Each structure stands twice: as structure tokens, then as C-alpha cells.
């Protein structure tokens, strides 16, 4: 559906040794090495390194990283320093900007700096609007002539696209002939792997109505694990792909419905407007855009009309 890299498997790219491990002392049992690893937690990131990282993260991924985020970034990089065997953030910074680091470390950088807070049926008023306003209009306009296309942009670990798949499946039961497909994208390959597994702990499923849980989820064969998995019917409606919003991405379809919620809050205002302009260029005329309740399009020159708070229609 997109002209960009598809997810093909976990990233297992290397460090200076060419082999990544979660335990840097596992191969040698060297106590001195373990001692050095313990000192990593005492290392501090210098202002120069932070500025280089901040500029890179903004230019490559669109994420704003002000000075107030320095401690957060430092703590998130600790595991990478430990895995790669570096003893300082200066050393790690030089590696990231080296030819080898540019090839091998960029994806790990994405996985470290992105935030993946999400849950099923998040911002439930959106699903009321979807059921009562958006889906009836889309159904009137498309009928059974073609699939309704949905894009979950910034899908994280899959809760949003799977929620949409359940909601649309319920609508399809009430409207024979209604068909749909969901394209879900995220920049993080690690989080996409989790989304494709479609396995969630039971405490993550509390927001799903009981009837839907019985219909669309499968319990683990081991009750002690307290895990459930989306069934094949739901999973078959969702295709996952890796996508960086900062790329000049191309879609070969026009979404009828686009969910991009609580994603652009991490971008500065100019980057937000560039991104929403891209979305509008791809969204079908008459299509609907859902954004997060903490987000705003105020002051942006976009071909959209307001349908409800944080819900817009392409004109």
C-alpha cells in the first residue's frame, strides 16, 4: 500500500563487535567489563552531545527534543551504551554519527526515542462519532462497490487498528456488503513486531466490551499467563508497515478514514502543519481525519471542515 520499507523481522544489527547482545559480559565473563558496565549509569550526557542528538532526532524523525528532555534522553540511551560497550555518551555520539553508526544504529535510535502510550478504545467519543456519523456517510458514498480504506498512522503496538477492525466488523454485520481494509504504520520496527503478534495481557483488554472480547479474542492455552490474542478474522483486516512521516512517502490509495491521534504532539508546529498537509494530499475528498483531543489544527491552512471536536472532513 505504501512505497517504503516493510517490516521483515526484528532488527539484529550490531555493534562494534558485529554481534549484538543484551548482556555485554555474557561471552567473556570478565568482571572488569561488568564493573565498567555498572559505571555507565553514572555517566552524564554533555550539552554538546545532547545538541547533536536533538538536532538529529528532529531532522530525521520530526520529534522535538528541547533541553528539558536531556535527562530523559540520557536514561533512554543507557541500554544502548551497555549493549554496545560504550562508557560515555560522547563515545556513543561519535558512533551514531559515524558511517557504521548511520547504517546500524538509526533504527535502534528510533525505538529508543519514540513514545508508545496507547490502549484499546482510547478517546471513546471518537468511536461514537465513527459509528453515528462517519460510517453511515461513508457507507452511503461507497456502498458495496469497493473496500473502505482506513489508515491508522502512528499505530504503536496495535491497539488502535485492532479497535478499528472490531468496530468496523460490527458495522459490517449490520450492513451486509460492507468491506474494509486497514493500513497501520509506525516508525518503530520493534513496536510493529509487537503489533503483528497481536498478543496482549488481560489487564490491557479491560476497555474492550465483553461481547467483543468473546467474539474477537482467543485465550492463551495456559491460563496462568493471562494473555489473549486477536483472532484471525480481526488480524486479516490489518496490514502493518514501517513509515517515517519525515520521508517523502507515497500512498497508492486514498484513505476514506485517517486516524492520526496523539502523534504530532511530539512535533513542533511547523512540522505539524507540513505533516497534516501531506495527510490532506492523500486523504480522499470527503474522507475523514481524526486527531487526538490534545491536538489542534487551529491556524493551519488545510482543506478541511470541522465535523466534531478533533474530527474533520476533507473538502
Determine the 3-state secondary structure of 51 from DSSP: helix
How far, CA to CA in Å, does 176 sit from each of 144, 168, 172, 256, 277?
8, 12, 6, 19, 35
Reported CATH class of domain 31-113: mainly alpha
Q: Describe the crossing of helices 70-84 and 89-96 by its angle, rounded to 10 degrees.
A: 80
Determine the 3-state secondary structure of 227 from DSSP: strand
- And the C-alpha cell for 14? 550490531
Query: What's the chain's average pLDDT?
Result: 88
Of the candidate CATH numbers 3.40.50.620, 3.40.50.300, 3.40.50.150, 3.40.50.720, the domain formed by 125-314 belongs to 3.40.50.150
- Residue 2 pairs with which residues in a beta bridge? 251
pLDDT in tens, 24-65: 344 444 445 444 444 445 579 999 999 999 999 999 999 999
- Among 89, 91, 87, 83, residue whose Cα is nearest residue 108: 83
pLDDT in tens, 168-212: 999 999 999 999 999 999 999 999 999 999 999 999 999 999 999
What is residue 116's predicted lDDT score, i.e. its pLDDT?
85
Per-domain residue ranges of the chain: 31-113, 125-314
Does the pLDDT at position 288 exceed 50? yes
Does the pLDDT at position 19 exceed 80? no
pLDDT band at 1 (very low <50, low <70, confident <90, very high): low
Pick from 126-130, 249-253, 277-281: least confident? 249-253
Q: Do residues 313 and 141 make contact, with C-beta atoms less than 8 angstroms apart?
A: no
pTM attached to this predicted model: 0.83
Find where cell 480522499 sits. 284
- Among 120, 123, 267, residue whose Cα is nearest residue 187: 267
pLDDT in tens, 222-234: 989 999 999 999 9
Amino acid at each position: 500500500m505504501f512505497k517504503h520499507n516493510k517490516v521483515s523481522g526484528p532488527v539484529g544489527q550490531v555493534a562494534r563487535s558485529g554481534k549484538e547482545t543484551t548482556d555485554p559480559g555474557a561471552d567473556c565473563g570478565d568482571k572488569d567489563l561488568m564493573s565498567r558496565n555498572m559505571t555507565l549509569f553514572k555517566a552524564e550526557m554533555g550539552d554538546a552531545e545532547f545538541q547533536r542528538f536533538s538536532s538529529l532526532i528532529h531532522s530525521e524523525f520530526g520529534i522535538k527534543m528541547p533541553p528539558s528532555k536531556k535527562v530523559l534522553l540520557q536514561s533512554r540511551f543507557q541500554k544502548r551504551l551497555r549493549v554496545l560497550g560504550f562508557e560515555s555518551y560522547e563515545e556513543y555520539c561519535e558512533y551514531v554519527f559515524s558511517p557504521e553508526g548511520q547504517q546500524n544504529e538509526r533504527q535502534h535510535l528510533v525505538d529508543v526515542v519514540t513514545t508508545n502510550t496507547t490502549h484499546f478504545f482510547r478517546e471513546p467519543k471518537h468511536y461514537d462519532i465513527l459509528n453515528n456519523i462517519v460510517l453511515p456517510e461513508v457507507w452511503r458514498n461507497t456502498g458495496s462497490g469497493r473496500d473502505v480504506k482506513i489508515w491508522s498512522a502512528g499505530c504503536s503496538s496495535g491497539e488502535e487498528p485492532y479497535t478499528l477492525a472490531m468496530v468496523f466488523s460490527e458495522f459490517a454485520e449490520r450492513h451486509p456488503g460492507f468491506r474494509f481494509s486497514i493500513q497501520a504504520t509506525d516508525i518503530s520496527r520493534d513496536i510493529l513486531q509487537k503489533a503483528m503478534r497481536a498478543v496482549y495481557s488481560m489487564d490491557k483488554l479491560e476497555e474492550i466490551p465483553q461481547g467483543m472480547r468473546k467474539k474477537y479474542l482467543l485465550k492463551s492455552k495456559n491460563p496462568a499467563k493471562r494473555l489473549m490474542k486477536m483472532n484471525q478474522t480481526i488480524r486479516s483486516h490489518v496490514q502493518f508497515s514501517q513509515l517515517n512521516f519525515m520521508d517523502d512517502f507515497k500512498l497508492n490509495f486514498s484513505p476514506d478514514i485517517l486516524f492520526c491521534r496523539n502523534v504530532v504532539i511530539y512535533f513542533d508546529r511547523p512540522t505539524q502543519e507540513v505533516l497534516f498537509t501531506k495527510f490532506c494530499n492523500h486523504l480522499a475528498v470527503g474522507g475523514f481525519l481524526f486527531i487526538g483531543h490534545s491536538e489542534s489544527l487551529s491556524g493551519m491552512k488545510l482543506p478541511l471542515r470541522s465535523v466534531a471536536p478533533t474530527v474533520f472532513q476533507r473538502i
